[in-house]
Amino acid sequence: MDDDTTDPGPAPRRRRLDLPLPAPPEALRRGPLREGTFRSRLHEPRTAVVLGRWLGASVLLCFLTGLLSHVLQQPPGWAAGLLPSRPVNGYRVTQGLHVISGTAAIPLLGAKLWTVYPRLFEWPPARSVAHLLERLGIAVLVAAMLLELFTGLLNTVQWYPWPFPFRQTHFWLGWLATGGLLVHVGAKAPLIAAHWRRVRPELAGRRAFLGVVAASVAAVTVTTAGQTVPWLRALDLFAPRRPDIGPQGLPVNRTAAQAGTTTVPADWRLQVDGPHPYSLSLRELAELPQYEHDLPISCVEGWSASARWSGVRLRDLLDRAGAPADATVRVTSLEADGPYRVMDMPAGYARDPLTLLALRVNGEVLAADHGFPARIVAPNRPGVLQTKWVQRMEVL
């Protein structure tokens, strides 16, 4: 007897992460949890994918330029001697892009969250262990991005109302947000691929909504980027800093009063320690060959400005002390404390012919807030490392 039945074999085992979770009581499904609460058709995947592409590009640019800024400020030991002093405006451009892209990400993140926020109230809240983990991951990602952008924005206005150190927290939040974003993109790759291309007919209202978002990003950018982009300065309406306002036409972050250097000792001398140590008074420094260069001061808070600096080439001072060509230089300020009172300068910067121990700016003797009697100015370096009120240089 023929038997056409086949043994289907054992049923495939479900992965543990796919095991369903019990649904909560239906009585809890109230308010925004009710079906049909959110009626806008723009809460849909295609709009979320378009906004996600824009937001992802701005976050990635912000992360990479922020990472570069961090390395330039606090290079790991193996990289300290490899940091280049050129291009002259390198740090100015990358730090400006960092703040511009971070500012642009704020309205983009707001629009993206608006598009997907009804998913917060989907029912049941978690269908399986995998679904629960995915939602927890999204919660961490959103929290990290909100905190990163919020603290970064307050940094541009020099307001630090939190008890934790900004720079270190900002750095690690950047890794958390970017890593979480990449994991999210990986998890949603099939959905993103399915809605990557536009299909016709176009959803009513989507183009207008995206146009409003793009216009908002453009408006935020052109009204704040002037603090670092000279040709946008006339439109600089909402940036917290104006690069042309301050003593001698330059802004100041840490004043002489804050550093306790308003009054410089009358017997001030620059001490240079090396194989042939020596010291020089301000008059003796002014009698050495002087050089003038146009160099930018670029701040980690996003503003930057160019000025004409004049003073003694650092490498001339180091040669006089008998410093080896590859020596690192440690520069110490007159200020009593502060995170940047002592600064190490690799040879690549110290030996650059543009690096000066500046005595004057824009044709005038340095004001106290700009580092009188002498300060460091080097190309392609963060402003916090352009040490003011220099007292001592050591050849390491």
pLDDT digits (tens, 9 = 90+) for 230-266: 889 889 888 888 888 899 999 999 999 999 999 999 9
* Residue 212 to residue 205: CA distance in whole angstroms: 11
Q: According to the model, what pLDDT value does residue 116 have?
A: 96
| Structure tokens, 220 | 């935020």
Q: What is the pLDDT of residues 370-387, one digit of tens each?
A: 999 999 999 999 999 999
Residue 275: pLDDT over 60: yes
Strand 269-273 with 390-395, pairing? parallel
* Residue 198 to residue 44: CA distance in whole angstroms: 13
pTM value?
Answer: 0.90
Which residues are 393's β-sheet partners?
272, 331
Q: What is the pLDDT of residues 31-84, one digit of tens each?
A: 889 888 998 999 999 999 999 999 999 999 999 999 999 999 988 888 888 899
Strand 304-313 with 356-361, pairing? antiparallel
